[in-house]
Chains A and B, each alone.
Chain A
Amino acid sequence: MSYAFFPGCMIPLRLPYMENAARKALGALEVELLEMPNASCCGDPIAFQSLSKETWTAVAARNLCIAEEMGRDLLTLCSGCYETLKTANVKLKGDQRLREHVNKALAEVGREFKGTIEVRNLLEVLQEVGADKIKTRIVKPLKDLGVAAHYGCHLVRPSDVLSFDDPMKPTTLDQFIELTGAESVSYLKKMLCCGAGLRMVDAEKSLKLVEMKLGYVEAAGADCMAVLCPYCMVQYDLTQRTIKREGGANPQMPVLYYAEMLCLAMGMSPKELGLRLHRTSLEPVLKKLGLNA
C-alpha cells in the first residue's frame, strides 16, 4: 500500500511529533508514504470556507491534482484537511458545472482536476491494513489504560459528504483504541466540539469549551484522551495551562494522538516518539504503562 502523504500545515509546522508517530506507525505496518511536491495548505475548512467557498474549493482541488499526478490516493492526517479535501473531491466528481468552473481557475496554474483518486483519513487506512495484521504487531498492549476517545467534528461531519462513520455516535476510534489493549471509556458529550473554530474570533470562549470537555473526561475517570486532529490536539494539549492561568479549573488530562498510542502498543519508546514535546505532561500515562519518558 502506498499513499500520497498530506500532513497538512498544523501537524508538520507545529506538532511534528504527530507526523512522527503517524509515519512510524504506518511504516511499521508497511504503508508507504510518498511526499507531495508543492502541496500547500488544504484550503482550511474554517477560514477559507468562510471567506470564499470558491477559493477554498480551488485550493483544495490544486492539492488533489498533485495526488492525481502521483496516481495515488491521498492520505491526510488532519481532520480539517480531510473535510476540505474530501468535500472538494466528492463535490467536484459529482457536480459537472462546478468542476468546469474550478478547472477554469486551475488552468491558470496549468493543472486540471480529473477525479481519479480518493481521499482517506488515518483510520480508513488502518482499516485497510486490517485489525488482524495490526494485532500481530502489538507487543505491548496498553493494559488497563482508560482512554476517552475524542473524534473531532471534521472526521465524521457533514456525513452525507464524508460518509465515514455515524455523525452522532461513531465507533471506529473506540474499536481502534481497544485494539491497542486499552479500554475506551464512555463519557458525556463525547461529540462536543473542541472549539478550535471559535479560537480566531473569541479565544477565551473557545477555552470554555475545552474546560467543559475536559471536565466530562475527568468525571468519567479516564487516564487520558485520544485525539486524531491537530486542532483538537492544540485545543486540549496546549491550552490546559492557560486555563489554569486564567483562573479556571486545573485540568491535568494527558492527551495522546491515536498514532502515538498505536506506536506505544507496538513497543516503540516515548523517546523516539518525542512525547516530551506534549505540553501537558504524559507522566501519569507512561507510569501506568511502566514506561519512562
Chain B
Amino acid sequence: MIEMSEEPRIGVYVCHCGLNIAAVVNCEKVAGEAAKLPNVVVSKDYRYMCADPGQEMIKQDIKEQKLNRVIVASCSPRMHEPTFRKCVESAGLNPFLFEMANIRELCSWCHPHYAEKATEKALDLIKMAAAKARYLSPLEVVKVPVTRAALVIGGGVAGIHSALDLADMGFKVYLVERTPSIGGKMAQLDKTFPTLDCSICILGPKMVDVAHHPNIELLSYAEVKRVEGYIGNFRVTVAKKPRYVIEKECNGCGECANVCPVEVPNEFDENLGFRKAIYVPFPQAVPMKYTIDLEACIECYKCVEACKEQGREALNFDMKEQEIQLDVGTIVVAAGYDLYDPSKVKAYGYGLYDNVFTALELERMINASGPTQGSVIRFSDRKTPRSVAFITCVGSRDEKTNIYCSGFCCMYTLKNALLLREHYPDMEIRILFMDLRAPFKGYEEFYRRAREEGIQFLRGRPTEIYEDPKTSNLVISMENLSTGEPMDLEAETVILSPAAVPSAGSEELARALTVSRDASGFFMEAHPKLKPIDSATDGIFFCGAVQGPKDIPYSVSQGSAAASRAARIMIRGEWEIEPIVAFVDAEKCRNTKVKCGVCTTKCPYGAIAADEGKAALVNTAKCHGCGTCAADCPSNAITQRHFTDAQVLAQIHAALEEKPEEKIIGFLCNWCSYGAADLAGTSRFEYPPDIRVIRVMCSGRIDRDFVLEAFRKGAGMVMVSGCRFGDCHYISGNYNAEKRIKPLFTVLPRFGISAERLRLEWFSAAEAGFYVNLNKEMSETLRKLGIERIRVENEKARPFLDKMLQQSGD
C-alpha cells in the first residue's frame, strides 16, 4: 500500500442533478459554505457532475489545483461511485482518494418540504465526507490468481447446460451428481410445455454430450462434502458413493439385472414400477453404468456370474466410499428442487386413497417407457379413468405449507391435461384452480389451446376429498367460485400438482458453501434484480430451481447465465478484490502475549489466522471486507481499510459540530439498510431531515465506541441498522452487531441516557416504507424528549462515556 504524507487538498463538487437536487437544496450556497471547510481548495456546483463536462472539470482541477482528494456531492455511491473513481483515476489520482456525499437519495428527494433544513443537511453530509476524506489513504486493488476450472453441482437440465457452456468455452468442468445418472427431474417428464416435445428426446442428446465432452469430468453418484478457499481458489472435497460396479469395466449390457431376483420400487418411476437390486434408473441413463442398491441386495452373487458369462468382472462388493479433492476457480450450484409431499395435506387423502396421484406419477404413467408403458390407470381397478380432476396449488400459496407461488405448476398441469386429452379423446378432464398463471412466451396461448381442447376449468380451491368406498371414485368438495355455490365433484382419478420445495440436503450444501437461504429455504441471490445469478459469496453462482421454482426454459437460460458469470472470472486468470479489507497491527495485537483469537472466531470466512504467540494475520484474498473483526477486536488492533476508526469517528464529529441534540446519527449497512434508504429516496417517500447517515459495508463493522462517541458528542439519537437476520451479506455480521450493541440498552440508562434514544433495527433493502416510518418515529422521540432534556442527559452521561471510551481506546 502506498503511504501518503502530504497535506490534503480537497476539491468539492456539488451536483444539481438538473433540478433533482437543486429544486430543494440550495447548491450554490452549499458549495459556498463547503469552500470554507478546512483543506478544501476548490468548491464548485454544476448541473450534471456525471456528464462529461462535469468529469472534465474534476480532471482539470486535479491537475491544475493539485487536488489529492475529491468529493462529489450528488447521488448514491451505490449509483455513481464507480463512475467518479474511474474519473479521478484517469487524472492520475488513486480511486480510493475519492469520496461521495449522497445529497439526492438521502436528502433532496426525501425532504422536498424542508428546503432549508435539507440545505443544512446537504452541507453536513459534505462536511462528513470532507472529514473522512482527510483520513483517506490510497489503496491498491488486491489481485488473486484464478484456477481455470469450474465445479457444477447438480446434473439436472440447468447444471447440464451450465457445464456444457463452460466446457465449450474451454474450461475444465467437474459435474457432480448425487444420483446414479444425470438428467434430473426433466428426465422423468414425458413431454414439456409449451410445445409438447418429448422431454427425454431433447434432453438425452445433451446428456450424451456431457458424457463425451473432453472438458467435462462427470462425477455421478457423488456428493459435495466440504468447500474451502475463496473466489478463484476453491478446494472442494467430493465423496463418491460406491456403486459396487467398476465404472470402466461395466458396458451397461444389463445381464446382471436380468438375473437379479430382487424387485424393489423404482424411485425414478415414483415407486409405481419396480427395478432390480442392481439397476440403471432409466434406459437413457448417463453414465450407462449399473449400480447395486446394497439396501436391497441379498448377496446371491447371481450378477457376478452373469457378468463373468459376458467375459467381464465389473462387480466389486468391497468398494468403499472415496473422497476426491478438486481445485476450482468458480462453483455453479444447480442442486434443483424436490416436489412437496402431498400426503402432508391430509384433506386431499394422498397415500390414503388409491386413486389420488401426483403430477410426476402421471408423467411416469403416461410415459411410453414408464411402468405402464404409457397407459394411465387407477390403482384400485387398473382401469383407465373416464374422468380426471387436476388440483393445483398443493403445498403452495398456503400459510400452513408454503406461502410462495410455485410458478410452474399451472403450466405443467395444463400440459398434463393436454397429454391426457391427446391419449384419451373422450376423457372428462377438469382443472380446479384458484388463479391460473401463464405469464411467459407462448404460455397464455398454451392455456387457450387447453380450452380449445375442451378441458374444463373450474375456479375454486378444493377443500376435502373423500373416497367412495364402493367405486373408489373420489368426491371433491369445493365452492364453484363462478356461481358461488358449494359443490361435490366426482372424479375417477385425482391428480395433485405439488409445489417445488428446496431439495433434500440443500441446507447442508448451503452451509458447506457458506451461502445463505431465503425464508422458504431456496438459495439467496446477491441481488433480486441486478445479481440474480450471483451468490453473496464471490465466485459461487446459482442456476435453476435451487434459487426458486423454475420451469425448463428459465432453468436453461440461468444455466447459461451462470456459465458466463463464472467464465467472466476464469477467463482473466486473475481477479481483483476491492481492497477494503481488514489488516492487523501486529504491535497492538494481544495474541502475541495472551491467547486471544477473538477475530478468528468472528470472521465469517475464516480469513484470519491467529497462531499461538504470533499476531493475527488476515488472508486478504479470503477477506470480504465486512469489518466485523475490526469492531470486535478487544485491543483495537484491526482496521478495515477505507472504513477505519479514524474515518468513521471523523464523520461522527463533523456531523455533530452544530446542534448535535437535534440530530440522529444513523449507521447503515451498504447492502440492506442503506439500500432501503436509497429506495426511500428514489420512491420520493418524505420523512424529517434529522438523520445523518454513515455508511459501512456491514452492520458487523459498527463498533460500540462509535455509538458511545456519538452520544459523548451530544447526539440526539443513534440508530444502528443492518440486514434482517439470515440475510446478512457477510453471513453473520448482523448477529455480531446485535451481540455488541444490545447491552447498551441496559448500560446507557445507567449513565442517564434514556434507552429510547438508541435504536437497533434490521430491515431489507426493499423495506423503504419501514425506513421512512422508523425516521418519523425517531424524530417524534426527539421532539418528545426535547433538546433540554437531551442536553441534561448528555451532561450527566459524559463522564461515564469519557471513562468507557478511554478504557477501550488504548
Direct contact of A and B (CB under 8 A): yes
**A residues in contact (CB < 8 Å) with B:** 166, 168-169, 185-191, 219-221
Segment of B1-9, B462-470, B723-731, B741-749 in the binding face: B462-470
Cβ-neighbour of A188 out of B347, B352, B468 (below 8 A): B468
Interface check B78, CB cutoff 8 A:
no
A186 pairs with B349, CB closer than 8 A: no
B466 pairs with A190, CB closer than 8 A: yes
B346 pairs with A186, CB closer than 8 A: no
Per the bound structure, the CA–CA distance linking A190 and B352 in Å amounts to: 14
Contact A169:B346 (CB < 8 A) given known A188-B475, A191-B464: yes
Please, which residues of chain A bring their CB within 8 A of the CB of B349?
A: 169
Per the bound structure, the CA–CA distance linking A168 and B477 in Å amounts to: 13
Please, which residues of chain B bring their CB within 8 A of the CB of A189?
A: 466, 475, 477
What is the number of residues of chain B that contact chain A, defined by CB distance less than 8 Å?
12
Contact A220:B466 (CB < 8 A) given known A168-B346, A168-B347, A169-B352: no
Per the bound structure, the CA–CA distance linking A63 and B464 in Å amounts to: 36
A188 pairs with B466, CB closer than 8 A: yes
10 A-B pairs with CB atoms under 8 Å apart are A169-B346, A169-B347, A169-B349, A169-B352, A186-B469, A188-B468, A188-B469, A189-B475, A189-B477, A219-B470
Per the bound structure, the CA–CA distance linking A169 and B346 in Å amounts to: 6
**B residues in contact (CB < 8 Å) with A:** 346-347, 349, 352, 464, 466-470, 475, 477
B464 pairs with A168, CB closer than 8 A: yes
Who on chain B is nearest to A166 by CB?
A: B346
A187 pairs with B469, CB closer than 8 A: yes
Please, which residues of chain B bring their CB within 8 A of the CB of A169?
A: 346-347, 349, 352
How many A-B contacts if CB must be within 8 Å? 26
Please, which residues of chain B bring their CB within 8 A of the CB of A188?
A: 466, 468-469, 475
Who on chain B is nearest to A185 by CB?
A: B469
Q: Nearest Cβ in chain A — how far from B344, in angstroms?
A: 11
Please, which residues of chain A bring their CB within 8 A of the CB of B468?
A: 188
Please, which residues of chain B bring their CB within 8 A of the CB of A220?
A: 469-470
Per the bound structure, the CA–CA distance linking A185 and B467 in Å amounts to: 12
7 closest pairs, A vs B, by CB? A168-B347, A169-B346, A188-B466, A186-B469, A168-B346, A220-B469, A166-B346
Apart from A166-B346, A189-B475, A221-B469, list 10 A-B contacts with CB within 8 A.
A168-B464, A186-B467, A187-B466, A187-B469, A188-B466, A189-B477, A190-B466, A191-B464, A219-B470, A220-B469
Q: Nearest Cβ in chain B — how far from A168, in angstroms?
A: 4
Q: Nearest Cβ in chain A — how far from B461, in angstroms?
A: 14
Who on chain B is nearest to A168 by CB?
A: B347
Q: Nearest Cβ in chain B — how far from A193, in angstroms?
A: 12
Who on chain A is nearest to B475 by CB?
A: A188
Who on chain B is nearest to A187 by CB?
A: B469
Q: In this complex, which of A168, A185, A187 has the most chain B Cβ atoms within 10 angstroms of its Cβ?
A: A168
Per the bound structure, the CA–CA distance linking A219 and B468 in Å amounts to: 9
Who on chain A is nearest to B474 by CB?
A: A188
Per the bound structure, the CA–CA distance linking A186 and B470 in Å amounts to: 10
Q: Nearest Cβ in chain A — how far from B355, in angstroms?
A: 14
Who on chain B is nearest to A219 by CB?
A: B470
Per the bound structure, the CA–CA distance linking A103 and B349 in Å amounts to: 44
Per the bound structure, the CA–CA distance linking A220 and B467 in Å amounts to: 11
Please, which residues of chain A bring their CB within 8 A of the CB of B464?
A: 168, 191
Per the bound structure, the CA–CA distance linking A185 and B464 in Å amounts to: 18
Q: In this complex, which of A169, A189, A220 has the most chain B Cβ atoms within 10 angstroms of its Cβ?
A: A169
Who on chain A is nearest to B468 by CB?
A: A188
Per the bound structure, the CA–CA distance linking A191 and B352 in Å amounts to: 16
Per the bound structure, the CA–CA distance linking A189 and B468 in Å amounts to: 10
Who on chain B is nearest to A190 by CB?
A: B466
